[in-house]
Amino acid sequence: MKILWGGLLLLAAGVIQWLWAANLSFLGPPPQLMLVLTVAASIVFGSVWGQSLGFLGGLWLDVLGARMFGGTALSLCWIGYGAGLLRRQMDVSNIASQLAVVFAASLAHGLVMRTLGFFFMRHWGETGFFAFMGGAVLNALAAPLAFAVAAYVEKRHG
Amino acid sequence: MNSRTRGTERIFLGVYTACALILLSLPINPWVAALKTVLIYCFLPPPYSAARAAGHFSEIPSNFARLLRVDQENQRLARESMDHEVAESQRKALIEENERLKSLLGIRPSLPWRHSWAKVVGRDMKGWNSLVWIDRGSDQGAAFNAPVLGTAQGKVGVLGRVVEVLPDASKVLLMSDELSALTVVVGEGRWEGLLEGSPSAFKVRYLPVAAKIGVGDEVWTSPSSLTFPPGILVGKVEKILPVDSYLPYREIQVRPAVHPGQVSHVLVLSPHKAVVPEERQGGLSP
């Protein structure tokens, strides 16, 4: 049952991210819900869940994208593993810590993607500093909802 | 237990990392391309379906507005339909009154016409614009002298008349033949004249010199025609010929509404058989 819920959450995150990008582009780039879901799943369900959702979600984004097939999957998988390690070190039950963790994860994801881009495409990427930080803030704002949904699933089917 | 969980986590991390690095390192490998294609087939439908669903939802307000407009139009059309029903009942009453008055005056009632479609199956090689053969004969109800109409550009116009009837086919003398003639009325003034056939342009004779006729006026069959029902389009005035001082009438040229070369199917008219009441049989006839 938990696998089904995980699949549904992944599907919902991908679809919302796609629809936002397609219909709400005037608000800027959408929050990276796959990343937020990966962090939330990793902290609430466990590292293996986070890595799996991150890898599959990243692969989905890579399929929909045009460049660096496998890059997002690798980055989100590592983020999931890192969030799983963090779970043992700090309490992530309050909203402030959730915001902080997702914000940090967003920065880490951006850095990993740029590094992978440099190694595999000889290109650092062109996202500006403010857009980069703005995206991280947007991801952090989506964190409480993702954690609440993950906690609900864990409570029902954990 | 804790070390076992950590081991599992590391195994998953290693497997996922290896898979991702393979995909990253071999982007143009056939196996990676095939995997990507498979994943596209698996992953693309949900967002596409969601986007289509979102598109449908976004159309709801405009569809609702259109539904309201259609409803208003429907109400308006319903009111107009009622008006038309009233007009139709008035028309029927007028027709009945007309028939009654005609019977009182002893005027021969005008007969309704029925029509049937026929296909042009042949042309006279010697006179291409003189006559055509159609696939309706006496077995199908075609009769001698039956009017034949053609269609061109959505309009029905005079084409000719049946001059020879066989069981399964008929010969139609076209208006463009020089032997054809027809009484017609011209323009708003309904000036009556005799139209004579010609391969190039029809000619209408015996129009009054004082008749006010302009180029482009329409020419219709006359009520005094014995062959054609009145009010069928024949053509349009193409040229007004100068008045000959020795003749007491004027002539015009008419461009046919239906050119015989255009038709592949024709309408053959025939009047319904009149049911003349006994008390009317002794009446006057015009």
Tell me the per-residue pLDDT of B155-205, one tens digit each, with 9 for 90 and over.
Answer: 889 999 998 888 888 999 999 888 889 999 998 878 899 999 888 789 999
pLDDT of residue A95: 86
From the list B200, B209, B210, the residue with the least C-alpha distance to B254 is B200
DSSP states along B125-150 = SS-TTTEEEES--GGGT--TT-EEEE
Mean pLDDT within B133-138: 88
- Give the number of beta-carbon pairs within 8 Å between A and B: 83
**Does A120 sit within 8 Å of B9, measured CB to CB?**
no
pLDDT of residue B279: 44
Q: Which residues of chain B are within 8 Å of residue A68 when distances are taken between CB atoms?
A: 24, 27
**Residue-wise pLDDT tens digits, B61-109:** 888 999 999 999 999 999 899 889 889 989 989 988 988 888 888 776 6
From the list A40, A41, A18, A38, the residue with the least C-alpha distance to A144 is A40
State CA B102 to chain mean position distance: 34
pLDDT of residue B275: 44
Interface of chain B toward chain A, CB-CB under 8 angstroms: 5, 8-9, 12-13, 16-17, 19-25, 27, 32, 36, 39-40, 43-44, 46-47, 50-51, 54, 58
pLDDT(A68) > 90:
no
pLDDT of residue A130: 76
Angstrom distance (rounded) from CA B252 to CA B213: 9
pTM over 0.80: no
**Does A19 sit within 8 Å of B9, measured CB to CB?**
no
How is residue B226 annotated by DSSP? Answer: S
**Residue-wise pLDDT tens digits, B224-264:** 888 888 888 999 999 988 888 788 888 999 999 888 887 88
pLDDT(B19) > 50:
yes
Instruction: For an interface test with B, give the residue of A9, A23, A47, A61 to mutate (most B CBs within 10 A).
Output: A47
**Residue-wise pLDDT tens digits, B22-64:** 888 876 778 877 888 888 888 778 777 877 887 788 888 888 9
Q: Which has more confidence, B271 or A7?
A: A7
Q: What percent of chain A has pLDDT over 90?
A: 16
**Does B12 sit within 8 Å of A74, measured CB to CB?**
no
Report the SS3 class of residue B59: coil
**Does B54 sit within 8 Å of A77, measured CB to CB?**
no
Q: Which residues of chain A are within 8 Å of residue B5 when distances are taken between CB atoms?
A: 46
**Does A23 sit within 8 Å of B54, measured CB to CB?**
yes
pLDDT band at B110 (very low <50, low <70, confident <90, very high): low
Residue A92 near residue A43 (C-beta atoms within 8 A):
yes
**AA letter at A101:** V
**B131-134 and B113-123 as β-strands: parallel, antiparallel, unpaired?**
antiparallel
Report the range of poorest mean pLDDT among A29-38, A90-99, A116-125.
A116-125
**Does B19 sit within 8 Å of A69, measured CB to CB?**
no
Q: Which has more confidence, A29 or B156?
A: B156
Distance of residue A122 Cα from the nearest chain B Cα, in angstroms:
13
pLDDT of residue B67: 93
Angstrom distance (rounded) from CA A67 to CA A118: 13
Q: Which residues of chain A are within 8 Å of residue B44 when distances are taken between CB atoms?
A: 63-64
Helix (H) or strand (E) holding B238: strand B233-240
From the list B156, B186, B162, the residue with the least C-alpha distance to B174 is B162
pLDDT of residue B285: 37
**AA letter at A107:** L
pLDDT(B130) > 50:
yes
**Does B12 sit within 8 Å of A52, measured CB to CB?**
yes
pLDDT of residue B109: 62
**Does A55 sit within 8 Å of B20, measured CB to CB?**
yes
Burial class (CB in 10 A: 0-12, 13-18, 19+), B180: buried
Angstrom distance (rounded) from CA B92 to CA B74: 26
pLDDT of residue B281: 41
Angstrom distance (rounded) from CA B145 to CA B286: 21
The ipTM, to two decimals, is 0.83
Distance of residue B30 Cα from the nearest chain A Cα, in angstroms:
14
Mean pLDDT within B112-128: 79
pLDDT(A19) > 60:
yes
Q: CA of B217: how far to CAs of A3, A37, A61, B185, B237, in Å?
A: 83, 80, 72, 10, 5
pLDDT(A22) > 80:
no
Q: Which residues of chain A are within 8 Å of residue B46 when distances are taken between CB atoms?
A: 11, 14-15
pLDDT of residue B201: 84
Of A18, A48, A69, the CB nearest to B50: A18
From the list A64, A145, A5, the residue with the least C-alpha distance to B47 is A64
Mean pLDDT within A17-23: 77
HEC per residue, A89-131: HCCCCCHHHHHHHHHHHHHHHHHHHHHHHHHHHCCCCCCCHHH
Residue B219 near residue B195 (C-beta atoms within 8 A):
yes
Q: Which residues of chain A are within 8 Å of residue B32 when distances are taken between CB atoms?
A: 69
**B147-152 and B233-240 as β-strands: parallel, antiparallel, unpaired?**
unpaired
pLDDT(A21) > 80:
no
Mean pLDDT within B204-220: 89
Q: CA of B234: how far to CAs of A124, B83, B122, B253, B259, in Å?
A: 81, 33, 23, 12, 10
DSSP states along B104-130 = HHTPPPPPPEEEEEEEEEEE-SS-TTT
**Across chain A, where does the E strand assignment appear?**
none
Look up residue B239 and give its two tokens.
């040229």
